[in-house]
């Protein structure tokens, strides 16, 4: 008999309580007979729990750990997620499923422009998933536009796996070096780490900038190291699909109640079939719309819209509340800007101070008055600006030892 969602949750909860020191005190909380209602009364697991009690989440002997992955630390202290050999197989299964949603087959050749080292799960997941579907991969890694284009022109990959803002860098390099992107082999780009859609699922400024300069198909993804799985768009481009075999999804309002179809809530996940680091009702801190109506592709699995913001990244500046996304949209929309960085710090009164780092040549350009007006009309406030040499600024965003572009930093 096919296993139901309730069966998977029972197995997951029982395993976590029996094997994970952190969840061992949940035994008294498990109502019998088990039900979804009983499950939804279990306490949430927070990012702080995972950071403070990291080792207590380990549910296997250390001898059984096959891989030590860590979170990127973009929303707090980096933590380790422990994976067994079976967890790695689960990771491969998830990514193969995700890539197939985009129409990828064993005949495709992928080029990976994100890191596969430094304990980064995403690069490893993509590599394992590509092997699972029987396709080939070129592991270039992050940065170095010249090397990326050299490989594209020589090896002719059909699909790029890339951060959208880095795709803009690739396009700028191609333009300066007279590379005809329309004549290259790339057909699709699987986008990692940044949104390419507006809240209504239309393309945002970043997505439009790519598509205006490159006739490719873009696919959005949402994932985290903690969940060891990804939500990915299908060819209908109607939100990122949940893999129900690997995750149980809740999207909740501030009262902890499930939101309705098309409404915004916080993403909460329970990992299914995980051995090393099982998580029960894990609050990601990410806010998105959930879509429960059937997709145009025929699938009935729930879908997520683009991440609207993170609960811990609300900026309060001069009496105005701003999500980073609103700032990104202003600077992503200006073709003359290929690189920028936002810094959020505290002033002497403990209030948020907002600074935008821009390329040096913009300081004396006629573009700055327009930028100021865009900030006034879209944010209702104007940040402080600092101008840096292009190469130095690019190194601040695409840091050598960082796994993702650092477009925003929060300083205490």
Report the topology of domain 5-83+225-309: Rossmann fold (3.40.50)
Q: Is 328 exposed, middle or buried (0-12, 13-18, 19+ CB in 10 A)?
A: buried
pLDDT band, residue 1 (cuts 50/70/90): very low
pLDDT tens digits, 290-320? 999 999 999 999 999 998 877 767 787 776 7
Q: What pLDDT shows up at residue 208? A: 93
Range from 1-5, 201-205, 245-249 that averages highest in pLDDT: 245-249
DSSP of 76-90, one letter per residue? Answer: SS--EEEE-HHHHHH
pLDDT band, residue 412 (cuts 50/70/90): low
Domain boundaries, the chain: 5-83+225-309, 88-219, 314-410
pLDDT mean over 123-146: 94
Peptide bond into 33 cis (omega under 30): yes
Query: Which residues, including other chains, have CB under 8 Å from residue 212's CB and lie 6 or more apart?
Result: none
Q: Comparing 2-6, 7-11, 195-199, which segment has the lowest mean pLDDT?
A: 2-6
Q: Do the first three CATH levels of 88-219 and 314-410 match, i.e. the same topology?
A: no
Computed from CA positions of residues 26, 28, 31, 33, in that sequence, does the dihedral angle turn out positive or negative?
Answer: positive
Q: What pLDDT shows up at residue 117? A: 84
pLDDT band, residue 74 (cuts 50/70/90): low
CB atoms within 10 A of CB 272: 21
Does pLDDT of 190 surpass 70? yes
pLDDT mean over 224-230: 91
Within 13 A of 282's CA, how many CA atoms are on the CB side?
26
Q: What pLDDT shows up at residue 348? A: 65
The CATH code belonging to domain 314-410 is: 3.30.300.30
**Domain spanning 88-219: which superfamily?**
ANL, N-terminal domain (3.40.50.12780)
DSSP 3-state of 324:
helix
What is this structure's pTM? 0.80
Give first-to-last CA distance, the chain, whole Å. Answer: 54
Does pLDDT of 25 surpass 90? no
Q: What pLDDT shows up at residue 67? A: 95
Greatest distance between any 2 Cα atoms in the chain: 70
The C-alpha angle 369, 370, 375, rounded to 5 degrees, equals 100
């Amino acid at each position: 008999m096919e296993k139901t969602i309730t069966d998977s949750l029972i197995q997951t909860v029982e395993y976590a309580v029996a094997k994970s020191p952190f969840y061992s005190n949940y035994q008294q909380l498990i109502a019998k007979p088990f039900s979804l209602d009983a499950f939804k009364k279990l306490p949430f697991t927070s990012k702080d729990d995972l950071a403070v009690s990291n080792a207590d989440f380990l549910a296997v002997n250390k001898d059984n750990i096959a891989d030590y992955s860590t979170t990127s630390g973009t929303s707090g202290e980096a933590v380790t997620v422990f994976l067994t050999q079976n967890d790695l197989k689960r990771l491969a299964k998830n990514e193969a499923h995700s890539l197939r949603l985009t129409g990828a087959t064993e005949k495709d050749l992928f080029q990976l422009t994100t890191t596969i080292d430094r304990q980064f799960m995403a690069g490893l997941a993509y590599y394992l998933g590509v092997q699972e579907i029987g396709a080939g991969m070129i592991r270039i890694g992050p940065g170095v536009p010249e090397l990326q284009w050299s490989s594209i022109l020589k090896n002719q990959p059909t699909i790029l796996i890339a951060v959208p803002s880095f795709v803009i860098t690739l396009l700028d390099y191609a333009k300066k070096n007279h590379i005809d992107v329309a004549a290259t082999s790339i057909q699709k780009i699987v986008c990692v780490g940044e949104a390419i859609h507006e809240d209504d699922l239309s393309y945002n400024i970043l997505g439009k900038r790519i598509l205006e300069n490159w006739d490719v198909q873009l696919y959005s993804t949402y994932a985290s190291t903690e969940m060891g799985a990804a939500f990915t768009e299908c060819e209908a481009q109607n939100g990122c699909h949940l893999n129900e075999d690997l995750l149980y999804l809740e999207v909740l309002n501030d009262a902890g109640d499930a939101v309705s179809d098309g409404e915004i809530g916080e993403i909460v996940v329970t990992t299914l079939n995980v051995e090393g680091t099982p998580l029960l009702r894990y609050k990601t801190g990410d806010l998105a719309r959930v879509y429960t109506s059937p997709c145009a592709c025929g699938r009935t699995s729930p879908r997520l819209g683009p991440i609207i913001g993170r609960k811990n990244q609300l900026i309060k500046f001069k009496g105005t509340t701003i999500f980073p996304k609103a700032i990104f949209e202003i600077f992503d929309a200006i073709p003359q800007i290929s690189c920028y960085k936002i810094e959020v710090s505290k002033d002497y009164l403990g209030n948020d101070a907002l600074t935008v780092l821009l390329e040096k040549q913009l300081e004396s350009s006629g573009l700055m008055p327009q930028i100021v007006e865009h900030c006034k009309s879209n944010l209702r406030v104007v940040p402080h600006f600092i101008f840096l040499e292009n190469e130095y600024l690019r190194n601040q965003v695409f840091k050598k030892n960082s796994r993702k572009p650092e477009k925003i930093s929060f300083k205490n």
